Structure 1
């Protein structure tokens, strides 16, 4: 699928540029600070990477405890403390500044922020690249998460999900085989409303994957591992309860012990119900 290969190349560049630009977006907020050059360098080299690592570690804890925090009624507080607060410090802050104009912890719900939970269905097309060969297939998944909307137009999602990544037939020089893969994911998304009711969202996360390969001889083998995913997409609202979006996501799957190395790119349509 030439479209997926082109998307991967162009999105790699776009995501890197956009992530660096998030601080510039934040500088439009009225932060009354004049940081020194040293503060800017320390922020860029030390503070922001640390806050980013904290946000991703927090996402893992949030995902692992989500069933219990939902039952306990404090999933939104867990998401805010563990994930959204360090994400704001990492991206939604002018370089070298110590303050955030719309810090999520200082806002009251209904007065500066809105928090809702959501269920999301996802489906689309996937391209799997393994051993220098590629194949195409369908992908679908189900997610549960928490959505934050702030008055500065920044948006944050934290979600836990399962996804059937692909079931593809690949014709290699050594013969035909079928690869299938399943992914269990913990994902954080962050971005801003860019125009109208459309949000530009960046996605980062970790996933546990399992893959199975069936050879044309009838034999098969399976493998699994833990790896990373990233992506970018657009979301918009359809009324108060529904949101739809289009996402590009890149998944890494590598197990050195089994010699398995694959990348999967997906283009998905998402439909979310917020409650």
Structure 2
């Protein structure tokens, strides 16, 4: 019996009124977060360029590009004060004619892309 009741007790209720960035997180992200992300992105780009000959020899140029160049610049595009999960949720709300959206329990939903595959967001 304990094995069946344990997953139910692990569920977390999300208060939708408090979902998303707050005033404080937006201010901190504006003053501290975004400038540090810019420094990280520029530094990562420089490190990627310096490491490129070595990563080409090692055969992991794609991984180096992803971690040192792509991810830092993608982080700059995150909404102000948002966590990664909040940003993914807001970006998933954009209209797409090929997506069937089934809302399970806001903000959790099931997205079915009629062209490709099933994506479950939480």
Give how far 1:101 is off. 2.2
User: Residue 101 of structure 1: SS of its match in structure 2?
Assistant: helix
Is 2:13 aligned against 1:35? no
Residue 55 of structure 1 corresponds to which residue in structure 2? 41
Question: Which residue of the other structure, out of 56, 64, 76, is the alignment partner of 2:62?
Answer: 76
Distance 2:70 2:31 in 1: 21
User: Residue 88 of structure 2: SS of its match in structure 1?
Assistant: coil
* Ranges of 4+ aligned residues in structure 1 off by more than 2 Å: none
Residue 87 of structure 1 corresponds to which residue in structure 2? 73
* CA shift digits 1:166-223 (9 cap, x unpaired): xxxxxxxxxxxxxxxxxxxxxxxxxxxxxxxxxxxxxxxxxxxxxxxxxxxxxxxxxx
Residue 98 of structure 1 corresponds to which residue in structure 2? 83
- Structure-1-length-normalised TM-score: 0.24
* CA shift digits 1:118-153 (9 cap, x unpaired): xxxxxxxxxxxxxxxxxxxxxxxxxxxxxxxxxxxx
- Structure-2-length-normalised TM-score: 0.51
Give how far 1:35 is off. 0.9
Distance 1:58 1:66 in 2: 12
Distance 2:67 2:51 in 1: 13
Distance 2:88 2:64 in 1: 21
Distance 1:58 1:45 in 2: 21
Distance 1:86 1:41 in 2: 20
Distance 2:88 2:56 in 1: 29
Which fold has the larger relative contact order, with Cα–Cα distance below 8 Å and residues 6 or more apart in sequence? 2
Give how far 1:34 is off. 1.6
Distance 2:62 2:88 in 1: 21
Give how far 1:89 is off. 1.5
* CA shift digits 1:37-88 (9 cap, x unpaired): 1111111111011011011111111111111111211111111111221212
Gaps of 5+ in 2: 1-18, 90-122
